[in-house]
């Protein structure tokens, strides 16, 4: 649970969304206000309440958007106004995150607060390359060190003490000053042949490592500005990555893909793409808005005893159907006479969560294919009563065609897909570069994307992007808005769409 008027100082982990804590994920979903910085993976914010207020206060390489005192004031003012406030930081808030300063300011204000530790990059990022920061017989200690000072240079450190340590040195925020760090360590007596690595964007699909001898990292060795955000790891454990690096580049490595599915559908597709190494940016163009009580819904659900079939085309349709029945205190055992038809694997799985298996599921996710195969395999529907549960768009897809076959088809609109309004920083983040692909899995997603593009004047950017569509109807919607469909799989399935992307990436 989250409390109004309370401030939560939380760490979001090193980058990968899977490395945030359970408590952090819960707070993201429930907070009224989220104050976040540049090192927070935007994908973590995908699970936030769309109605939440997002305040970006990011700082990177000395470029400051807000002074620390201003950030403190934002936290306190929002909490005093009665909002639950989540201060979200990359890594752990107490490891070079200035979380201690914010805690002191909040404490002085008299407001209630909670500290939520996070997975710090200094340990987790090397681990993603098979580098243990401590290892028996190799490194018995690890030092976490800041590689950057507020005066835009290397902080004043006891270089002799650091050079004499037999453990591992991990420098945060030091990629731009790497040559100065190595020079100071060598001058202080560290062996120039000591292994060193710079790891950039660790734990993300775009992570990369540069490793060499300590003395190799001269000013001309690399363009260090391109390696931020990154870590410097120095010590004999660095060589472990040569044999034990376990994260291998996937078939979509280096590809940046935008997924436009709704919040409750995008995670499975995003996880699959990330599993193949893609950098995924989830941009749902719509959210599910349940339809309020209506006589039409009440009448249809009270008439289930005389209904033969119920058709579901989406997860939301399944979940809201059974939610309505629960609210009406309907005993699910009274539904034993019903037969269910589902479209799509995830819709079938959603139905299974309520203890029911579908009596019909088409092999392909195409409306025309569903109608044809449904009628062919179940000719009795021509004289039966059918209930279609779904969004306001579903009616146009099924009802008329089923009625034309002789069925008595009734439509129950349980929800609508409405456009999502994004905060300006999220839009800027999205179009800061051109992705390799934008994926569309429904015509409604296309319509809402087109609306988003128009509202934010993104047409020029959108026309530079390659569009991938799951099937003919979605492709037609894209063409209607003047976009070229660069990829459409032969089968209208998520798995086929992913396979087609992988094949296209080989060209």
Same structural domain, 53 and 155: no
Mean pLDDT for the stretch of residues 165-185: 94
- Contact yes or no for 98/68 (Cβ under 8 A): yes
Residue 262's pLDDT band, with cuts at 50, 70 and 90, is low
How sure is the predictor about 126, in pLDDT bands with cuts at 50, 70 and 90? Answer: very high
> What's the rounded mean pLDDT across residues 220-240?
95
Greatest mean pLDDT among 10-24, 269-283, 429-443: 10-24
Q: Is the pLDDT of residue 419 over 90?
A: no
Of 416, 439, 459, the residue that ends a domain is 416
pLDDT in tens, 455-476: 888 999 999 999 999 999 899 9
pLDDT-based confidence at 63, cuts 50/70/90?
A: low
* Same domain? 265 vs 380: no
Counting Cβ atoms within 10 Å, is residue 444 exposed (0-12), middle (13-18) or buried (19+)? buried
- pLDDT, tens digit, 9 for 90 and up, residues 81-111: 999 999 999 999 999 999 999 999 999 999 9
Supply the CATH number for residue 187's domain: 3.30.950.10
* pLDDT for residue 112 is more than 90: yes
Q: Where are the alpha helices (DSSP H) in 313-466?
A: 315-327, 345-352, 367-377, 395-404, 424-430, 443-455, 459-462
Q: Within 13 Å, how many C-alpha atoms sit on residue 43's CB side? A: 22
Give the integer Cα–Cα distance in Å for 5 and 278: 39
Within-domain flag for 319: yes
- Is residue 251, in this structure, part of any structural domain at all? no
Provide the pLDDT confidence category of residue 287 given band limits of 50, 70 and 90: confident
Question: According to the 3-state scheme, what is the secondary structure of 158-203?
Answer: CHHHHHCCCCEEEEECCCCCHHHHHHHHHHCCCCCCCEEEEEECCC
Residue 249 counted as domain residue: no
305: domain CATH number is: 3.40.50.10090
Residues 181 and 232 in one domain: yes
pLDDT, average across residues 375-399: 84
Helices 295-302 and 315-327, packing angle to 10 deg: 80
Final residue of a structural domain among 86, 118, 150 = 118
Same domain membership, residue 332 and residue 375: yes
> In total, how many domains does the chain have?
4
Over residues 223-240, the mean pLDDT reads 95
Same structural domain, 475 and 329: no
Q: Answer yes or no: do 220 and 140 share one domain.
A: yes
Q: Nearest CA to 115 among 126, 124, 125, 104?
A: 104
pLDDT higher than threshold 80 for residue 267: no
Question: What is the extent of the structural domain holding 451?
Answer: 256-285+421-504
**Is residue 1 one of the residues assigned to a domain?**
no
Angle formed by the axes of helices 395-404 and 367-377, nearest 10°: 30
Whether 164 shows a pLDDT value over 50: the answer reads yes
Question: pLDDT-based confidence at 302, cuts 50/70/90?
Answer: confident
* Share of residues in the chain with pLDDT > 70 (%): 94
Do both 426 and 412 map to the same domain? no
Q: Are the CB atoms for 423 and 46 separated by under 8 Å? A: no
pLDDT band at residue 263 under the 50/70/90 scheme: low
Q: What is the CATH number of the domain that holds 21?
A: 3.40.1010.10
Question: What pLDDT, on a 0 to 100 scale, did the predictor assign at position 86?
Answer: 98
If DSSP codes are grouped into helix, strand and coil, which group holds residue 89?
strand
pLDDT band at 145; cut points 50, 70, 90? very high
Average the pLDDT over each of 13-22, 59-68, 89-98 and give the range with the smallest value: 59-68
Q: Write down the pLDDT at residue 59.
A: 62
- Residue 144: inside a domain, yes or no? yes
Both 362 and 454 in a single domain? no
**Are 216 and 202 found together in one domain?**
yes
Give the angle 23-26-30 at the CA atoms, nearest 5°: 140
Q: Average of pLDDT values for 111-128?
A: 97
pLDDT, averaged across the chain: 89
The verdict on 374 and 432 lying in the same domain is no
The set of catalytic residues is: 37, 59
Same-domain pairing of 105 and 55 = yes
Q: Which of 118, 138, 166 corresponds to the end of one domain? A: 118
Q: Considering the domain boundaries, does residue 250 fall inside one? A: no
Residue 405 is assigned to a structural domain of this protein: yes
Asked which of 42-51, 180-189, 443-452 is least confident by mean pLDDT, the reply is 42-51
Question: 252: left (phi > 0), else alpha (psi -120 to 50), else beta?
Answer: alpha
Please report the pLDDT score of residue 450 as a whole number: 92
Q: Which residue has the tokens 């945030």?
A: 20
The answer as to whether 482 is a domain residue is: yes
The pLDDT value recorded for residue 48 is 85
- Verify that 104 and 134 share a domain, yes or no: no
Confidence of residue 61 (pLDDT cuts 50, 70, 90): very low
Exposed / middle / buried, residue 438 (Cβ in 10 Å: 0-12, 13-18, 19+): buried
């Amino acid at each position: 649970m989250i409390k109004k008027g309370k401030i939560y100082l939380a760490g979001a982990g090193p980058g990968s969304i899977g490395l945030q804590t359970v408590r952090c994920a819960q707070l993201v979903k429930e907070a009224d206000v989220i104050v976040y910085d540049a090192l927070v993976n935007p994908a973590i914010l995908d699970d936030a309440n769309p109605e939440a207020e997002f305040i970006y206060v990011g700082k990177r390489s000395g470029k400051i958007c807000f002074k620390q005192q201003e950030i403190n004031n934002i936290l306190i003012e929002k909490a005093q106004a009665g909002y639950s406030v989540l201060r979200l930081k990359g890594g752990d808030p107490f490891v070079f995150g200035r979380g201690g300063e914010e805690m002191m300011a909040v404490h002085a204000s008299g407001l209630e607060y909670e500290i939520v530790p996070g997975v710090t990059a200094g340990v987790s990022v090397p681990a993603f390359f098979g580098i243990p920061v401590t290892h028996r017989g190799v490194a018995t200690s690890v030092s976490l060190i800041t590689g950057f000072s507020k005066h835009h240079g290397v902080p004043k450190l006891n270089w002799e003490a650091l050079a004499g340590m037999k453990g591992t040195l991990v420098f945060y925020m030091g990629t731009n000053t790497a040559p100065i760090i190595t020079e100071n360590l060598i001058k202080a007596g560290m062996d120039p042949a000591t292994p060193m690595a710079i790891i950039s964007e660790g734990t993300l699909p775009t992570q990369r490592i540069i490793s060499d001898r300590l003395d190799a990292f001269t000013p001309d060795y690399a363009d260090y500005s391109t390696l931020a955000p990154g870590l410097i790891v120095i010590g004999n454990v660095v060589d472990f990555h040569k044999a034990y690096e376990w994260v291998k580049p996937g078939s979509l490595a280096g590809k940046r893909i935008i997924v436009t599915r709704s919040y409750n559908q995008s995670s499975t597709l995003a996880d699959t793409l990330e599993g193949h190494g893609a950098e995924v940016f989830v941009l749902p163009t719509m959210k599910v808005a349940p339809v309020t009580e209506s006589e039409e819904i009440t009448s249809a659900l009270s008439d289930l005893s005389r209904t033969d079939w119920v058709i579901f085309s989406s997860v939301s349709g399944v979940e809201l159907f059974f939610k309505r029945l629960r609210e009406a205190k309907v005993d699910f055992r009274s539904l034993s006479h019903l037969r269910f038809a589902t479209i799509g694997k995830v819709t079938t799985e959603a139905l299974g969560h309520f203890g029911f298996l579908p009596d019909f599921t088409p092999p392909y996710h195409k409306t025309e294919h569903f109608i044809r195969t449904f009628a062919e395999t179940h000719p009795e529907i021509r004289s039966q009563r059918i209930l279609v549960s779904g969004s306001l768009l579903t009616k146009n897809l099924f009802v008329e065609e089923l009625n034309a076959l002789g069925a008595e088809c009734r439509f129950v609109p349980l929800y609508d897909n409405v456009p999502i309004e994004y905060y300006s920083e999220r839009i800027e983040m999205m179009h800061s570069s051109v992705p390799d692909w934008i994926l569309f899995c429904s015509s409604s997603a296309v319509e809402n994307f087109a609306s988003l593009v128009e509202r934010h004047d993104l047409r020029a950017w959108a026309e530079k992007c390659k569009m991938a569509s799951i099937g003919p109807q979605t492709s037609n919607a894209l063409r209607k808005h003047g976009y070229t469909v660069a990829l459409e799989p032969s089968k209208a399935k998520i798995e086929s769409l992913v396979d087609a992307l992988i094949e296209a990436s080989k060209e």
